[in-house]
Chain A
Amino acid sequence: MLMHVIHMGHDVYKANDKIAEKNRKKLDKHQVFSVNIMGAIGSGKTTLIEEAIRQLKDKYKIAVIAGDVIAEMDSSRFRKLEVPTIPVNTGKECHLDAKLVEKALGEIDLDNTELLLIENVGNLICPVDFKLGEHLRVVVVSVTEGDDIILKHPMIFKTAELAIINKIDIADAVNVDAEKMREDILSLNPNVPVILTSKHDWESLETWIDFIELGVKKAQKR
């Protein structure tokens, strides 16, 4: 018997990153602006995406990737708004990864898409480690999750490029200070834009929609 040490140096996450880069190049080639919307279960991701679709679908060609353990429920909500929707069932997995998105991209007519909204699985932990190839990483958190939720999950807020604090109309009812949540996000990620939203306050949603539209316009100039 002989003993050997074999040096491997195989990076498990890099394998995902490489596919994410490929996805990004594909999206860039077709001038598609893509948004990865992450957040806990019940934070309001689907509702915020629905609002964006309602406001932008007459101006831009939109497609949606709806990721969930069982994705059919959210997909049917998006299909009602008459946008092409690809449900991605992750089964036992708690996040989308670049490979699942690569497969979904194959089912989307990218020549006829200007904006791709990707709803990630409801989870504040696992999606952080898996890049998808997106242009904008958004994290949605609602006041109902408690105002200590941000410091409990620092990495997702540290790596987000846009943070949304949602359902602020019921902050008092759940005894939460939305401003404290904003301060916590900025303490982790001082330069990230933070938007406070409520589906009953049109102006607050407008900021979220403007943010997406800005990205679409930039992508079209590439």
Chain B
Amino acid sequence: MHEFSIACEIFEQVLATAKAHGATEVKSVTLQMGRLSHTNPEQLSFCFKAIAEDSIAENSDFLVEMLAPSLECECGYEGTVNEKQIRESDTLTSELLAYVAAIECPICGGQARIVGGRDLIIKSIEIETEEDQTTDSNNN
């Protein structure tokens, strides 16, 4: 269980960025989480909401986009794990095990190296500012 400390780190980063852009409220936080990361999205969301109480992020939506693991093989193949194929498989019970077992190169059948899929990225935040607030070029 390390979701709490990760949620603290996310909260600090989100708040610093929001304040630097003159936010009065954080409306949403969007994360990208690799499926091979050992972080539980529901627990992370719970922890974030607990930490964000009484802050400008108190009522923000906490959105998590899951990322498929990406692979590289010695034969030159680069790509992501075939998620559709995994969902159709009923022989493997654990979702995580399904991903790890699937990490063989679809071209040569060799063991492909995991190069992505353990990430945890704060992709973006949606904020509200006062009318006359000047912000950078990321305005919607």
Q: Is B121 an interface residue (CB 8 A)?
A: yes
The answer to whether A6 touches B125, judged by C-beta atoms less than 8 angstroms apart, is yes
Which A residues touch B131, using CB under 8 A? 1-2
Known interface pairs A12-B9, A125-B38. Does A2 touch B128 (Cβ–Cβ under 8 Å)?
Answer: yes
Q: Is B87 an interface residue (CB 8 A)?
A: no
Q: How far is the CA of A139 from the CA of B78 in the complex (A)?
A: 28
Cβ contact of A92, chosen from B4, B17, B111, B121, cutoff 8 A: B4
Binding site secondary structure of chain B: mixed
Q: How far is the CA of A11 from the CA of B119 in the complex (A)?
A: 7
With most chain B CB atoms within 10 A of its CB, the pick from A4, A93, A125, A191 is A4
Q: Contact size class for A?
A: 20 to 34
Q: Is B84 an interface residue (CB 8 A)?
A: no
Interface segment out of the listed A28-36, A40-48, A74-82, A149-157: A149-157
Q: Is B126 an interface residue (CB 8 A)?
A: yes
Interface residues of B in 94-140 (CB under 8 A from A): 94, 96-97, 100-101, 103, 111, 114, 118-131, 133, 135, 138-140
The answer to whether A5 touches B124, judged by C-beta atoms less than 8 angstroms apart, is yes
Q: How far is the CA of A188 from the CA of B9 in the complex (A)?
A: 32
User: B41 to nearest A CB, angstroms?
Assistant: 13
Q: Is B59 an interface residue (CB 8 A)?
A: no
Q: How far is the CA of A149 from the CA of B8 in the complex (A)?
A: 31
Which B residues touch A214, using CB under 8 A? none
Q: Is A10 an interface residue (CB 8 A)?
A: yes
Which A residues touch B120, using CB under 8 A? 11-13
Which B residues touch A6, using CB under 8 A? 17-18, 21, 124-127, 138
Q: Is B82 an interface residue (CB 8 A)?
A: no
Q: Is B13 an interface residue (CB 8 A)?
A: yes
Q: How far is the CA of A187 from the CA of B24 in the complex (A)?
A: 52
Cβ contact of B121, chosen from A11, A125, A129, A158, cutoff 8 A: A11
The answer to whether A3 touches B138, judged by C-beta atoms less than 8 angstroms apart, is no
Q: How far is the CA of A3 from the CA of B1 in the complex (A)?
A: 34
Binding site secondary structure of chain A: mixed
Cβ contact of B123, chosen from A8, A95, A151, A188, cutoff 8 A: A8
Q: Is B6 an interface residue (CB 8 A)?
A: yes
The answer to whether A13 touches B37, judged by C-beta atoms less than 8 angstroms apart, is yes
The answer to whether B111 touches A191, judged by C-beta atoms less than 8 angstroms apart, is yes
Q: How far is the CA of A125 from the CA of B3 in the complex (A)?
A: 12
Q: Is A106 an interface residue (CB 8 A)?
A: no
Which B residues touch A125, using CB under 8 A? 38
Which A residues touch B139, using CB under 8 A? 2, 4
The answer to whether A128 touches B38, judged by C-beta atoms less than 8 angstroms apart, is yes
Interface residues of A in 95-129 (CB under 8 A from B): 95, 125-126, 128-129
The answer to whether A4 touches B135, judged by C-beta atoms less than 8 angstroms apart, is yes
With most chain B CB atoms within 10 A of its CB, the pick from A126, A129, A152 is A129
The answer to whether A3 touches B123, judged by C-beta atoms less than 8 angstroms apart, is no
Cβ contact of A154, chosen from B97, B127, B128, B135, cutoff 8 A: B97
Q: How far is the CA of A5 from the CA of B124 in the complex (A)?
A: 7
Q: When A and B form their complex, which 4 residue pairs have the shortest distance between CB atoms, in order from nearest?
A: A154-B100, A12-B120, A10-B122, A8-B122
Which residues from chain B sit less than 8 Å from chain A, CB to CB? 1-2, 4-6, 9-10, 13-14, 17-18, 21, 23-24, 27, 36-39, 94, 96-97, 100-101, 103, 111, 114, 118-131, 133, 135, 138-140
A-B contacts, 7 listed (Cβ < 8 Å): A1-B24, A1-B130, A2-B129, A2-B131, A4-B126, A7-B123, A129-B118
